[in-house]
Amino acid sequence: MSEKAGILVLGWGNLSRGDDALGPLFVAGLQEVLASDLRQQVELLDDYQLQVEHALDLEGRRHVLFVDASLDCKAPFEVRPIQARRDTSYTSHALSPEALLQVYEDMQSHASPPATLLALRGEVFGLGEPLSATAKGHLQAGLEWGLNWVRQTAKPPVA
């Protein structure tokens, strides 16, 4: 079995619900602009929602970037470090990133990898709605930040 990439970028959302597609679109956009020398260091995943099975994707990572659309963040996006925490999503079908980190820690009996949440501001989440023009701009700004984050995070640690 090959070694996992040290960095995991995990975006989630519903492509059929307007700006809720920002997470998967971020992953697709990053794939397009990621330089070949970084592709071996970064695994890109997208899904409809976070589930307990995603805890297995966290194994062997040095850092995880979670990416999702948000109505509550400032435009164009907000970034914050996150830590394992039980919350109300912990026992539901879909999890928050913090609850997913907690599932990982419960499974592995050790700390989860360092994690960051990139929340991209969305406005339109109706079923069948296209991505809004505003969200397209937020996505572009988030991709610029994300590419820089990957470059910085992929650098080997200083001894």
Q: What is the pLDDT along the chain (159 residues), one digit of tens a residue?
A: 457 899 999 999 999 999 999 999 999 999 999 998 899 999 999 999 999 999 999 999 999 999 999 999 999 999 999 999 987 665 555 789 999 999 999 999 999 999 999 999 999 999 999 999 999 999 999 999 999 999 999 976 555
CATH architecture of 7-154: 3-Layer(aba) Sandwich (3.40)
Q: What pLDDT is stored for residue 1 in this prediction?
A: 43
Q: Report pTM.
A: 0.93
Helical axes 22-33 vs 133-154, angle rounded to 10°: 50
d(CA 70, CA 97): 13
Closest to 130 (Cα-Cα) out of 2, 22, 3, 5: 22
Task: Give domain limits for the chain.
Answer: 7-154
Residue with tokens 């914050």: 80
